[in-house]
Amino acid sequence: MTASVLRFPATQSRQATVIFLHGLGQTTEVWRATMHWFFRQFPNIEWILPQAFSKPVSYNQGQLRASWFDIGNLPPGYLEWDEAGISQAIGSIEGIIQAEVHRGVDSRKIVLMGFSQGAALSLMVGLTSLHELGGVASLSGWIPHRMREHIIQTDPSLPVFWGYGINDTDIPPYYSEEAMGFLRDVLRFPAHLLCFKGYQGLGHSVSTEEMNDLTNWLLRVSRLQPVVNGIRTV
């Protein structure tokens, strides 16, 4: 379960669903303006923003913060592993996916997105789900090392967008480069499924350039057309 869910229903015939997961200490409201920007371009997509419960976070000396799972260090340590919290979080997002499938949405039209800790969770769900998903987008994310033994992709078919800031100190570029190597060299993801981009001058945040690249990627994996000034482009 999640604390709450913010939804932006499709205003035209729904053809896809995006589930967006916020970062550590954030609320879904932080992303409302960004989601509105996407929403205007993709009226055929329903956007779902779950809210994590507030819980004690070791990195913040036990203070209550909205968190998908506990974390003790930033950048994340090699042995960081809140097994119970991660299992519960994965189950919560899988529950949302299952509910969408029950509503008649083809799982191949469901895309996961996330920022930072939400990106890590999106990747863990996407790489372990029994559902064939439409894609997963990581913004300033990472793949926890202890999770990798649970990831089995015998025939990788999941499109992945991976954006990161060159100046990010919370999740430094090495984490993105190393994780991309894991997808490419260990899981044997073919190059055409991987979109890997670093952004000069960007820290632990997102940028307009990154959002534009993410939009183009989403167009490809959803096979939809964007809307500009109320007119669908071709």
Partners of 164 in the β-ladder? 198
At 192, phi and psi to the nearest 5?
A: -70, -15
Is 116 an annotated catalytic residue? yes
Q: Which residue in 186, 182, 142, 138 sits closest to 159, CA to CA?
A: 138
Q: Report CA-CA distances (Å) from 62 to 6, 68, 70, 87.
A: 27, 14, 10, 20
At 198, phi and psi to the nearest 5?
A: -105, 150
Partners of 214 in the β-ladder? none
In 12-146, which residue ranges form alpha helices assigned H by DSSP? 32-41, 83-102, 117-128
At 105, phi and psi to the nearest 5?
A: -85, 130
Tallying the residues shown for the chain, one arrives at 234
Catalytic residue among 70, 82, 168, 170: 168
Q: Do the Cβ atoms of 198 and 164 come closer than 8 Å?
A: yes
Catalytic residue among 67, 129, 170, 204: 204
Is 67 an annotated catalytic residue? no
Q: In whole angstroms, give the CA distance from residue 234 to residue 231.
A: 10
Is 168 an annotated catalytic residue? yes
Catalytic residue among 70, 82, 92, 116: 116
Q: In whole angstroms, give the CA distance from residue 118 to residue 23.
A: 5
> Which residues are the active-site residues?
116, 168, 204
